[in-house]
């Protein structure tokens, strides 16, 4: 009698990223020094708007001058230095100067309003703040003056382009040469690649932002290996319309560039599709970054075909899923044959998975690629933590050099996100196929992604509760063709209060919440849908919102009427 062969167990949804290229053991300052020594006369940084440009030799000298100037202000290892500005050369100089000192750079979103600024200044214990005097309609200087009395730890404010900025650089340049080598060399000997170097705030599910604390090792290696998969060399020129306050700009952009001796190109302080295309043409950029909405806007420019984009080879699209037609146009009309899709989160420095240059179009639009070098990913049952067979959906987790040190002074929140085995739980639902490609299918958490910005509804709900006529508020994400998702607030009014409209909510939020956190739609109700145990059913709220607004649910047939411009559905 023959015995049937035992069936092999299905392959688990686990993958690691083998690499023959070792991890970098440098601090960011040491790595920049190597780039300066190897490529002194190559372009390091170009600011297209102002016409300013730096070779690596010049960039290294200005980084050292700014570091010495900040040291003269009293900035020391471990102290937090805030940066509140749009994309500009001074942002990048501050990024590397603080790293040279071992200080911790705290990124502040340019869209923040007064109460958000105050929270970050106090929670991070920021001692020195470098800021633009203003940006667009925001008077940063006035807002800083307003919150300064409530932030006793803030001792120095340096406004970019003002007298104090010039004095800072002049002080540092006055110490160039032997004195600079003595001071900065002494500091360098005290630093470790495992030291914290950056805090980036993510909206918190508790209603308050959390500061993801990242080390030199975290972000330098992530930038380096993202650049490796984009095949960067010192000949590359990377156009960066994505914000520096986010990992997309400062890690995948700046650090990917300097770790390869490539050039950083700033097309404008904030995203401008025409300015971006002009920058690519003028500077002969080989790589272009953006979230899908940025590429859509560039392709829609009336005179798009007049720009010479023949220098483009690659680039990165991240932040939200890319429609297949957009990807086709990026490859065919922009010439970005090697464009890469990246997936990650601030807490993982940020990239965990990435498509490769030789991946098919289908892989680039239906997946977020494979695990990056020296990293691990797995998909687990959210209830049990058990690693699932390939093809089964579950929670995506990642582990490796990229996982943050933790949330700044929030050990409980850190323990909720990173388990005892150092796996970062992303809260995203995903599936891994037989070849290790990952497809993100949804989110366990209620996070909304609007135009690449991660928004946690709880923060907005807490804020809406401060309205005197609002009894309760719930916020959900609804589909949007332009931004991927938009915000809709369900509101219960106090007795005898007049119902709020979208315009009323917008008026209440404007100047107090970042613009991308302001709900576009408002629905006033007497009660929220609840479970038998008294929990609010947000899934049902989202479904009802899509129906009320006449939207096309994700995956539904095309041809449904689009949403109204705004206001309260009836």
Cα–Cα distance list, 542 to 28, 85, 204, 457 (Å): 44, 35, 20, 13
pLDDT of residue 5: 54
The pLDDT confidence band at residue 531, using thresholds 50, 70 and 90, is low
Burial (CB count within 10 angstroms: exposed 0-12, middle 13-18, buried 19+), residue 422: exposed
Q: Which structural domain range is residue 538 located in?
A: 448-549
- Partners of residue 237 on adjacent β-strands: 263
User: Is 12 domain-assigned?
Assistant: no
pLDDT of residue 210: 94
pLDDT of residue 331: 95
User: Is 266 domain-assigned?
Assistant: no
DSSP state of 387: B
Give the residue-averaged pLDDT of 344-353: 97
- The CA distance from 525 to 320, in Å, is 31
The pLDDT confidence band at residue 77, using thresholds 50, 70 and 90, is very high
Helix (H, G, I), strand (E, B) or coil at 520: coil
The number of angstroms, rounded, from the C-alpha of 425 to the middle of its chain's C-alpha atoms is: 17
User: Is 503 domain-assigned?
Assistant: yes
Q: Average per-residue pLDDT in the chain? A: 91
- The CA distance from 541 to 457, in Å, is 13
Residue 204 clears pLDDT 50, i.e. is over it = no
- The CA distance from 460 to 481, in Å, is 22
CATH of the domain at 466: 3.30.300.30
The model's pTM is 0.83
pLDDT 10s digits, 54-75:
999 999 999 999 999 999 999 9
CATH of the domain at 104: 3.40.50.980
- Partners of residue 477 on adjacent β-strands: 487
pLDDT of residue 10: 77
Provide the angle, in degrees to the nearest 10, between the axes of the packed helices 56-73 and 178-188: 80
Count other Cβ atoms within 10 Å, centred on residue 187. Answer: 18
DSSP state of 255: I
- Phi and psi torsions of 443, nearest 5°: -135, 135
The pLDDT confidence band at residue 178, using thresholds 50, 70 and 90, is confident
Residue 205 clears pLDDT 60, i.e. is over it = no
Residue 176 clears pLDDT 90, i.e. is over it = no
Residue 563 clears pLDDT 50, i.e. is over it = no
Give the residue-averaged pLDDT of 416-424: 96
Contact by Cβ (8 Å): 445, 459? no
pLDDT 10s digits, 534-543:
557 888 899 9
pLDDT of residue 556: 43
User: Is 405 domain-assigned?
Assistant: no
pLDDT 10s digits, 495-520:
888 888 989 999 999 999 999 999 99
The pLDDT confidence band at residue 7, using thresholds 50, 70 and 90, is low
Contact by Cβ (8 Å): 14, 6? no
pLDDT 10s digits, 20-52:
999 999 999 999 999 999 999 999 999 999 999
Residue 206 clears pLDDT 70, i.e. is over it = no
Residue 532 clears pLDDT 70, i.e. is over it = no
SS3 content of the chain, % helix, strand, coil (to 5): 35, 25, 40
Q: What is the number of alpha carbons within 13 Å of residue 276 lying toward its C-beta? A: 26
User: Is 285 domain-assigned?
Assistant: no
pLDDT 10s digits, 132-144:
999 999 999 999 9
User: Is 134 domain-assigned?
Assistant: yes
Query: Left, alpha or beta for 310 (phi > 0: left; psi -120 to 50: alpha)?
Result: alpha
pLDDT of residue 320: 74
- The CA distance from 312 to 238, in Å, is 9
DSSP H helices, 368-438, are 411-417
- The CA distance from 469 to 467, in Å, is 6
1 or 154: which carries more pLDDT confidence?
154
User: Is 506 domain-assigned?
Assistant: yes
Q: Tell me how many domains the chain contains.
A: 2
Rg (C-alpha) for the chain, rounded Å, is: 24
User: Is 135 domain-assigned?
Assistant: yes
Query: Left, alpha or beta for 70 (phi > 0: left; psi -120 to 50: alpha)?
Result: alpha
Number of H helices, E strands in the chain: 18, 26
The pLDDT confidence band at residue 322, using thresholds 50, 70 and 90, is confident
Q: What is the number of alpha carbons within 13 Å of residue 209 lying toward its C-beta? A: 29
Task: Give the chain's largest Cα–Cα span.
Answer: 92
pLDDT of residue 284: 98
pLDDT of residue 458: 75
- As a whole-number percent, the residues of the chain with pLDDT over 70 amount to 93
pLDDT 10s digits, 92-128:
999 999 999 999 999 999 999 999 999 999 999 999 9
- Mean pLDDT is lowest, of 76-90, 476-490, 547-561, for 547-561
The pLDDT confidence band at residue 319, using thresholds 50, 70 and 90, is confident
DSSP state of 349: S
pLDDT of residue 82: 98
Contact by Cβ (8 Å): 457, 448? yes
Count other Cβ atoms within 10 Å, centred on residue 504. Answer: 17
Beta strands in 160-291 (DSSP E): 196-202, 210-215, 237-239, 263-266, 287-290
530 or 2: which carries more pLDDT confidence?
530
pLDDT of residue 570: 28
């Amino acid at each position: 009698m023959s015995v049937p062969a035992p069936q092999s167990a299905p392959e688990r949804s686990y993958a690691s990223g083998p690499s023959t290229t070792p991890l970098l053991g440098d601090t960011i300052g040491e790595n920049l020094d190597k780039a300066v020594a190897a490529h002194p006369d190559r372009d390091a940084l170009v600011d297209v708007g102002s016409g300013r440009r730096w070779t690596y030799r010049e960039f290294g000298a200005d980084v050292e001058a700014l570091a010495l100037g900040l040291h003269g202000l009293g900035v020391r290892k471990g102290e937090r230095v805030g940066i509140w500005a749009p994309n500009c050369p001074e942002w990048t100089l501050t990024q590397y100067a603080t790293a040279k000192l071992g200080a911790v750079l705290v990124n502040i979103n340019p869209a923040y309003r007064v109460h958000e600024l105050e929270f970050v200044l106090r929670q991070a214990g920021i001692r020195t703040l470098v800021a633009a005097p203003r940006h667009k309609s925001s008077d940063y200087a006035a807002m800083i003056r307003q919150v300064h009395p409530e932030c006793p730890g803030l001792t120095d404010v340096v406004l970019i382009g003002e007298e104090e900025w010039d004095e800072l650089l002049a002080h540092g340049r006055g110490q160039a040469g032997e004195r600079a080598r003595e001071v900065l060399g002494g500091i360098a000997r005290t630093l470790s690649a495992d030291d914290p170097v950056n805090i980036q705030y993510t909206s918190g599910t508790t209603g308050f932002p959390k500061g993801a604390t990242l080390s030199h090792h975290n972000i330098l290696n992530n930038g380096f290996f993202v650049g490796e998969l984009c095949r960067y060399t010192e000949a590359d020129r990377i156009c960066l319309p994505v914000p520096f306050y986010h990992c997309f700009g400062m890690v995948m952009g700046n650090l990917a560039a300097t770790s390869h001796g490539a050039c950083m190109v700033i097309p404008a302080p904030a995203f401008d599709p025409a300015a971006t295309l002009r920058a690519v043409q003028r500077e002969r950029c080989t790589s272009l970054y953006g979230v899908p909405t940025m590429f859509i806007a560039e392709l829609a420019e009336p005179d798009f075909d007049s720009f010479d984009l023949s220098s483009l080879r690659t680039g990165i699209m991240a932040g939200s899923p890319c429609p297949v037609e957009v990807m086709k146009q990026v490859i065919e009309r922009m010439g970005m044959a090697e464009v890469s899709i990246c997936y990650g989160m601030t807490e993982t420095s940020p990239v965990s998975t990435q498509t490769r240059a030789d991946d098919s179009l289908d892989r680039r639009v239906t997946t977020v690629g494979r695990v990056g070098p020296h990293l691990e990913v797995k998909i687990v049952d959210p209830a049990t933590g058990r690693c699932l067979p390939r093809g089964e959906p579950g929670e995506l987790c990642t582990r490796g050099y990229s996982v943050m040190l933790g949330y700044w002074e929030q050990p409980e929140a850190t323990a909720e996100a990173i388990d005892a085995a150092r796996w970062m739980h992303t809260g995203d639902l995903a599936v891994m196929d037989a070849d290790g490609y990952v497809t993100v299918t949804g989110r366990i958490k209620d996070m909304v992604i609007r135009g690449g910005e991660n928004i946690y509804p709880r923060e907005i709900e807490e804020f809406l509760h401060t309205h005197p006529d609002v009894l309760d508020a719930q916020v959900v994400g609804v589909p949007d063709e332009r931004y991927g998702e938009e915000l809709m607030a369900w509101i219960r009014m106090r007795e005898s209060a007049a119902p709020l409209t979208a315009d009323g909510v917008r008026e209440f939020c404007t100047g107090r919440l970042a613009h991308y956190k302001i709900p576009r739609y408002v629905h006033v109700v007497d009660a929220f849908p609840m479970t038998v145990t008294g929990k609010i059913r947000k899934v049902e709220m989202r479904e009802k919102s899509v129906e009320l607004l006449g939207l096309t649910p994700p995956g539904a047939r095309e041809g449904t009427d689009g949403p109204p411009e705004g206001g309260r559905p009836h």
